[in-house]
Amino acid sequence: MPLFRLSHQVEFPPAWLARSDGLLCIGGDLSWERLLLAYQNGIFPWFSESDPILWWSPDPRLVLLPSQVTISRSLRKKIKKNLFQITVDQAFEQTIKACAKPCGNLVPG
């Protein structure tokens, strides 16, 4: 599969064109418009600080549909203990900043 190079236009090639390791394209920027479009299409950035921006869309991807999630008894017990907080659609900016922090040489795939 080819590796696509992004331009200044906020667009992506179809995610199904990703290589077998999930790498789809390179370049672009991390503007909120591009990130939103990427996440809406199952694409995410993952790269080291010294590298160009790499965009990934591995197959298979984990998709959680809240209406279809079954919570085990042991997890339900832990949730009732209030050991952690579960939120949805909260702290987007903080999450993006935290994801941008280096965490070793992890590479998806």
**Are residues 53 and 28 in contact, defined by beta-carbon separation less than 8 angstroms?**
yes
The answer to whether position 79 is within a domain reads yes
Q: Which amino acid is at 70?
A: T
Number of domains in the chain: 1
Q: What is the pLDDT of residues 59-77, one digit of tens each?
A: 887 777 888 989 999 989 9
CATH of the domain at 18: 3.30.70.3550
The answer to whether position 67 is within a domain reads yes
Q: What is the pLDDT of residues 16-48, one digit of tens each?
A: 999 999 999 999 999 999 999 999 999 999 998
pTM across the whole model: 0.60
Domain residues for the domain of 29 are 4-100
The answer to whether position 105 is within a domain reads no
Alpha-carbon gap, residue 83 to 52, rounded angstroms? 38
